[in-house]
Amino acid sequence: MKVAVIGLGRMGRAIAGRLLVAGAEVTVHNRTPGAEGELIEAGARAAESVAAAAGSSEIVLTLLSDDTALEAVATGGLCSALQPGAIHAAMGTHGVAAVAALAERHAAAGQRFVAAPVLGRPQAAADGQLGIIVGGAPDAVRACAPLFELIGQRVFDAGGDPQSAAAVKLANGFVLACAIEALAESFSMIRRFAVDPELFREVLTGGLFPGPAHAIYSRLMVDESYDEPGFTTALGLKDVQLALAAADRCALPLPSVGVVRDRLLGAIAHGDADRDWAVLAREQARAAALE
């Protein structure tokens, strides 16, 4: 199968690399040249343009950082060059409006489209351990399945509408954001009562919250370790805004998400945009005059 990967950030490179290891015929393209070096060594073909990458592929995977980039790629060659019947699988985290617009555009061109946002970090992609949430017409989802099985440990079928997959990704994301906010608030309370944060972390993770979300973020909060971000405050805000935009689109009040939004904005106002978003604990501490 001829596959193109457009967008060679860390996730794009990891997915392309995994596909190459699995023997797929992979064309790669990045809007800013320079990211494709190792992939070419591993056997990828570099396309000079989005159109060149899209025109010669049965499935095009995009791994783009935001809706603006996705729109730029779509209108900058992808939609015009993709063959009828070929598939675009958008694997980034995108808003439901962008996904809906793109679905229409591809349908009008006789092309197929799935939203397939991923769960997990680039290393998981390299190891074939991602989760992939897929939404789109059943035939397109089936056509992508062999590919997704190469990179994903588990594929979640969100149904026939690509927007549904986007919504699942955003909802999963805001459950995490709310968990981080709740942790931030809880650590400020136990600090007020002079409790050892490590002790409190053990209560949480030794009991109701042993999973990675609480284990990872409570660790960062106990250590006040925010300067080597796994995921930044700015990116957190972007995802929360996509969730709120989805909520606007379907008239849905999300009060907890609104609280996180304000906390993220406060953190950014205080200069923490590029720190790990566990820094919400510090922002809450500021609000409580603990910093």
Q: Does 227 bind its own copies (CB under 8 A)?
A: no
> Which member of 254, 278, 279, 281 binds its own copies (CB under 8 A)?
254
> Which member of 32, 34, 228, 253 binds its own copies (CB under 8 A)?
253
- Please report, as residue ranges, which positions from 99 to 158 form the binding site for its own copies (by CB under 8 A): 119-120, 131, 133, 154, 156-158
Q: Does 75 bind its own copies (CB under 8 A)?
A: no
Residue of 169, 238, 261, 275 marked active site: 169
Give residue 228's region: left, alpha or beta (phi > 0; psi -120 to 50): beta
Residue 130: beta bridge partners? 152
**HSE-CB for 126 with a 13 A CA cutoff:** 8
Q: Which amino acid is at 131?
A: G
Q: Which stretch binds its own copies (CB under 8 A): 21-29, 72-80, 142-150, 207-215?
A: 207-215
The residues, any chain, with a CB within 8 Å of residue 196's CB and separated by 6 or more, are none
Q: Does 242 bind its own copies (CB under 8 A)?
A: no
Please say which residue, 21 or 213, places its beta carbon nearer to its own copies.
Answer: 213
Mutual angle of helices 233-249 and 96-108, in 10-degree steps: 70
Count the residues of the shown chain that bind its own copies, applying the rule CB under 8 A. 81
Binding mask 7-46 for its own copies (x = CB under 8 A): ----------------------------------------
End-to-end CA, the chain = 56
**Quick one: CA dihedral 62, 66, 69, 75, positive or negative?**
positive
Q: Does 269 bind its own copies (CB under 8 A)?
A: yes
Q: What are the backbone dihedrals phi and psi of residue 219, each rounded to the nearest 5 degrees, phi first?
A: -60, -50
169 is catalytic: yes
Residues belonging to the active site: 169
